[in-house]
Amino acid sequence: MNNYQRLSGLALSVTFSVFAAVMLFPIGLTLVSSMMSEAEISQNYDLIGKMVDTANGGKDAFLNLKLLPDWLTFEQYAQVLILSPKFLSMFWNSAGLVLPIVIGQTLVGSLAAYAFAKLRFPGRDKLFFVYLMTMLMPFQVTLVPNYLVIDMLGLMNRSSAIVLPGIFGAFGVFMMRQFMAHIPYALTEAAKIDGAGQFTIFMRVILPLAKPGLAALAVLLFVDYWNMIEQPLIFLQDAVKQPLSLYLAQINQSARGVGFAASTLYMTPMVLLFLYAESYFVEGIQHSGIKG
Q: Which residues from 272-291 bind another protein, rule CB under 8 A? A: 273-275, 278, 282, 285-291
Residue 150, amino acid: I
- Using the contact rule CB under 8 A, the part of the chain among 58-66, 74-82, 186-194, 207-215 near another protein is 58-66
Asked if 209 is part of the footprint of another protein (rule: CB under 8 A), the reply reads no
Nearest to 29 by CA among 64, 77, 81, 80: 64
Helix orientation angle between 170-181 and 85-118, rounded to the nearest 10 degrees: 50
Q: Is 143 in the site for another protein (CB under 8 A)?
A: yes
Cβ atoms of residues 247 and 87 within 8 Å? yes
Q: Considering only residues 17, 72, 189, 276, which one is a binding residue for another protein as defined by CB under 8 A?
A: 17
CB of 73 to another protein, least distance (A): 18
Residue 253 CB partners (closer than 8 Å, separation 6+): 259
* Region of 70-78, 90-98, 185-193, 207-215 interacting with another protein (CB under 8 A): 90-98
213-242 positions binding another protein, by CB under 8 A: 219, 223, 226-227, 229, 233-235, 237-241
- Determine, following the binding rule CB under 8 A, whether residue 176 of this chain makes contact with another protein: no
Applying CB under 8 A, the span of 71-79, 185-193, 207-215, 257-265 interacting with another protein comes to: 257-265
Instruction: Name which position in 42, 73, 164, 187 contacts another protein (CB under 8 A).
Output: 164
Question: 32: which residues sit within 8 A by CB, 6+ positions away?
Answer: 67, 68, 69
Spatial distance between the Cα atoms of 171 and 193, rounded to a whole number of angstroms: 32
